[in-house]
Structure 1
Amino acid sequence: MDISESTPVIVGVGQFVERIDAADYAGLSFADLAAAACHAALADTDRSEAVSAQVKVVGSIRTFEESGAMQVPFGRADKLPLAVARRMGIRPDVAILEKVGGQSPLALLADVGERIARGETAAALIFGSEAISTVRFLSAKGEERDWSEQDDPEASGTVWIDKGMGFEGTLSPASIAHGIRAPVTAYALCENARRARLGLTREAYARAMGELFEPFTRVAASNPYSSAAVRPMTAEEIATPGERNRMICEPYPLKLVSRDQVNQAAAVVVMSIGAAREAGVEEGKWIYLHGAALANEREILERPDIGAYPAASAVIARALDVAGKSVADLDVFDFYSCFPVPVFCAAIDGLGMSADDPRGLTVTGGLPYFGGAGNNYSMHAFASMVERLRAAPGSSGLVGLNGGFQSKYGAAVLSSSPREWPGCDTAGVQAELDKAPPAAMAEQQTGSGRIGTYTVTYAKGVPDQAIVIGELLSGGRFIATTRDEATIAAMLAYDPLGRTVEVDQGEKRNGFRLV
């Protein structure tokens, strides 16, 4: 097959982990962690110096701190892509800071791939890191560090591209006012809405969540880049609350929740075929993009079925269509797994796969066990996927990327088989999704209604707040919340799905009581 010399290919991948209990633990900064992964990715090409000399575009994924999710007392690099490039001895023409979200590794890969395909550059280095474990560890000890760095792109002649935060449309004022702020709360509402649609008991659904993630723990246990030592766990261990598995947010005990205390980094090197040949990178290292798509989901309260994920299904279908493949043609998978529901929606509901599919649903071990490296998790998935595909020439794999509150989804089909650059579809999938009408909120949030989904949040192990979303008997969706201890206790004692409530409209938020 004749492939254009400008076709982008992945030629190097690298990962790095620093564990606080390791003998060589140094408490590396975000930039230092990312640089370690970049060194590994360049070394993976076996032509590090020749490849590095051609890199003229660098791009980074936003850290949680840059995303506004946490504050780091040690300061930070004001332009992470340039701080890492400086460590690598690279003087880029273009430096990119990607938007927030777990889908961002694909968005960044698609961006630099397009630049290469258009002949604007020969090679790019993309990366991301998280040092949340170190931040919390050193802060608890009262130890200080200075991670502040400044870089001036104008002084170096670099085009600086900050794509912005990208929070638009992820949460409405009504959702925020009623306590939907943390991801665990939003995903719990999605999870219980899916359970409601399937008509499962709490016990049956908990068992299904445990069975889904049991194989993930085995993969994480054997992954040298896992954020901490992991042992394989049974479905019962994962899903049963206990002293070492406290409830975080109904229906999630700790072992079903993404692990954010990590010190992890990953990087990917992308080059044109012509540049890869010139640098002497062996063709056995080249991995091609065969199909990709990205799309946004509606805000939670606008979703007709809060327990479904139409954007995930549409994006995966589009990526497979462009690749000319079906799910049966794929050999390897990694589905973004911050919580069970995005895996259920994408793999089980969308593709008809089973939790015990012999091909597996993850190449890393998943966010609760391998580590939830912030927005950068799927860069690790890409790195591990590339290694798997290289080891089996002719094989193909799918990476599913999830961002926000089941708000953004991306899918990429990769293979060692040659393929012209297909680009990444965004507009086409989004246009189709936008045709579906949103759910309608009731103008008056008052009166009798039925609970369609709910969650109970916990504070230091104690039930703290209940949130319900449902339909008023008079028509229209409602959302309401309460901190009444008796109501919360009743909801935990007896499954509240489908139960009738009386909703009282408030100035800022609505209340409810069980009937």
Structure 2
Amino acid sequence: MSERLTDPGYRRLSPVDLAAAAAGLALRGATADIVAAVRQFEISTPWSAAPLGRADNFPRAVAARLGQDPKRAILEVTGGQAPQRLVTEAAGEIAAGRADTALIVGAEAISTVAHWARAEGRPDFTEHAGGQIEDRGYGLDGLAPPALAAHGLLDPPGQYALFEHARRARLGLSHGDYRAAMGALFAPFTRVAAGHPHAAAPTIRTAEELITETPSNRMVADPYPRYLVSRDKVNQGAAVLLASVETARRLRVPPDRWVYLHGHADLRERDVLDRPDLSAYPAAVAAVRHALDLAGLDLGDLATIDLYSCFPIAVFAVCDGLGLPVTDPRGLTVTGGLPFFGGPGNDYALHAIVETVRRARRAPGTFGLVGANGGFLSKYSVGVYSTVPAPWRANGSATIQAGLDAVPAGPRPGPPGVETYTRKPGQDAVVVARGPDGRRFVTSTPEEGDLLMARFRDLPRPPAA
């Protein structure tokens, strides 16, 4: 479900309206025992604001629109991993017999809120649904390192830019060559978005267009022009209904519409400055591998792949670790990705799951994978879907997580020097470096930032401090 400000008949739908419209299509008369909601951006942090008001119990507000009174209402923690994480959890609850049906919902009306926040006649999205809710909190532990906060680098573009430049340094690429690689990665995504009816930016763009700075493609944080970052000013909602086989039969759902969760995993990365390699995402790579192992598949068995794409590094790091070419002919998105389909807060992966399920139904017997990222390359949840019947299998994420956590914290041994950096327009450069004692530190360069940037761009490896 979506709407654009320029659509004929634009209705100024609230997040509850968008989610309920999508949920109604998913339910089709069924009753949900559980309604689990992805946390909206306006309630994702203690300092978030809701200029047009909000529902005090989002999952129950959505349920009430549809005449539902679920046994459980859940509001998940912040992060783009939430949709897949909730699908996996709900499937386990159904398999254990603790529920017959579960509805996963999410929606954002960020475009509408931004447009009407200071306008006369603005709508009021305040709702008092009340009732039981399992609010799991923000889940932001470890996502705001004090060393980065001290330099004002708490936003996603700023932190992701650090990972991007760390990867560039590892590969020994010039600034220009790396930017070209980012454009080449995302240009095919624009073609997929152009064919999706709910895409927020359905415009085909060349790699050169994506990386060339213009008034409409301004620099956000080096190396990112605006076209390379997640587009959060969207109005989009999605919903997925899960049911037991017995319930599906009782509801007379045609068997050719049944799609099973074959593999799944949920893993977490170390805090940003404790990671051995700022250019890598081992938790995500391990999650994909484990989900495939659980499904009894290899990468080559997949017909569709959707890798979370808030920034290029979120795709690059997973492909690097898996040995998956970024030019894989299957493509790496089924929607067009977050910069082009849209990045509806924490809810993007629910749209990817919906599209993956649709494609699985159109090509029975094939398999599709969805990778959902949260935080700052911090949390990764994976699902593998197919029409091929499969029993529920619990995953071994806890064991794999213990192995990831056993790796020593901190940077890998190496000479002192700059590991990575970024700079926002009009601000100082923020630099992450390794000191003579081997420890990592963060600094800024108010007077030498331009020189540092020039040296870093021109050298295949970061200069020594």
- Pick the TM interval, shorter chain: over 0.9
* 1:441–1:478 Cα contact (<8 Å) kept: no
Which runs of structure 2 are paired with 1:262-277 in the superposition (5 Å)?
262-277=234-249
CA contact (8 A) 1:110 1:423 kept: no
Which of residues 404, 414, 417 is equivalent to 1:450?
Answer: 417
* AA in 2 matched with 1:58: V
- Which of 348, 355, 358 does residue 326 from structure 2 map onto? 355
Following the alignment from structure 1 to structure 2, what is the Cα–Cα distance between the partners of residues 70 and 133?
A: 16
**2-side partners of 1:372 and 1:71: how far apart?**
18
Would you say 1:498 and 2:462 are equivalent positions?
Answer: yes
**Could you give the per-residue CA deviations for residues 330-374 of structure 1, whole angstroms, max 9, x where no partner exists?**
11000000000010011x202222222111100010000000011
* Structure 1 residue ranges (4+ consecutive) displaced by more than 4 angstroms after TM superposition: none
Distance 1:255 1:33 in 2: 25
Provide the residue aligned with 1:404 in structure 2.
375
Q: Deviation string for 1:125-157 (max 9, x for gaps)?
A: 11100011000111243442221111231xxxx
| Structure 1 residue aligned with 2:407 | 436
Aligned 8 A contact 2:294 2:395 in 1: no
Q: State the distance in 2 between where 1:86 and 1:303 align.
A: 44
User: Post-superposition shift, 1:441?
Assistant: 11
Aligned partner of 1:336: which letter? Answer: Y
> Is residue 277–residue 411 contact of structure 2 (8 Å, CA) maintained in 1?
no
In structure 1, the residue matched to 2:428 is: 465
Would you say 1:334 and 2:306 are equivalent positions?
yes
How is 1:89-488 mapped onto 2 (pairs within 5 angstroms)? 89-153=67-131, 159-228=132-201, 230-346=202-318, 348-439=319-410, 449-458=416-425, 463-484=426-447, 487-488=448-449
**Residue of structure 2 in register with 1:67 after alignment:** 44
State the 1:72 CA deviation: 1.7
Deviation at 1:175, TM superposition (A): 2.2
Letter in 2 for 1:222: G
Work out the CA distance in 1 between the residues paired with 2:146 and 2:405. Answer: 21
Q: What's the CA shift for 1:121?
A: 1.4
Q: 8 Å contact 2:147–2:441 — kept in the other structure?
A: no
Q: Secondary structure at the match of 2:217?
A: coil
1:440 Cα deviation after fit: 5.8
TM-score of the superposed pair, with normalisation by structure 2: 0.96
Greater CA deviation, 328-337 or 408-417? 408-417
Structure with greater proportional strand content? 1
Name the % identity: 46
Larger deviation: 246-255 or 466-475?
466-475
Residue deviations 1:409-451, cap 9 Å, x none? Answer: 1111111101001234431221110110011699xxxxx9411
Alpha-carbon separation, structure 2, partners of 1:410 and 1:306: 20
In structure 2, C-alpha distance between the alignment counterparts of 1:171 and 1:412, rounded to whole Å: 28
- The equivalent residue for 1:6 is none
* TM-score (norm: length of structure 1): 0.87
Matched residues in 1 for 2:365 and 2:102: separation? 25
Counterpart contact for 1:58–1:96, Cα < 8 Å = yes
Could you tell me which runs of 5 or more consecutive residues in structure 2 were left unpaired when the two chains were aligned.
none
Matched letter for residue 83 of structure 1 = A
* Paired residues of 1:62 and 1:97 also in contact (CA < 8 A): yes
* Distance in 1 (alpha carbons) for counterparts of 2:350 and 2:437: 47
**8 Å Cα contact 2:229/2:310 also seen in 1:** yes
Q: Which has the larger radius of gyration?
A: 1
Structure-2 separation of matches of 1:233 and 1:56: 44
Q: For residues 219-268 of structure 1, what are the alpha-carbon distances to aligned partners after superposition, in whole Å with 9 as ceiling and x for unaligned?
A: 0011001124x211111111122232111100001110100101000000
Q: Structure 1: how far apart are the matches of 2:130 and 2:176?
A: 56
Per-residue deviation at 1:474?
3.8
CA distance in 1, matches of 2:237, 2:170: 38
**TM superposition shift of 1:477:** 1.4
Distance, in Å, in 2 between the alignment partners of 1:289 and 1:75 is 36
Judge conservation of contact 1:294–1:429 (CA < 8 Å) in 2: no
Letter in 2 for 1:181: L
- Aligned-pair RMSD on alpha carbons? 1.7
Q: Distance in 2 between matches of 1:73 and 1:199?
A: 45
Q: Distance in 2 between matches of 1:143 and 1:473?
A: 60
SS of the aligned residue for 1:195 comes to helix
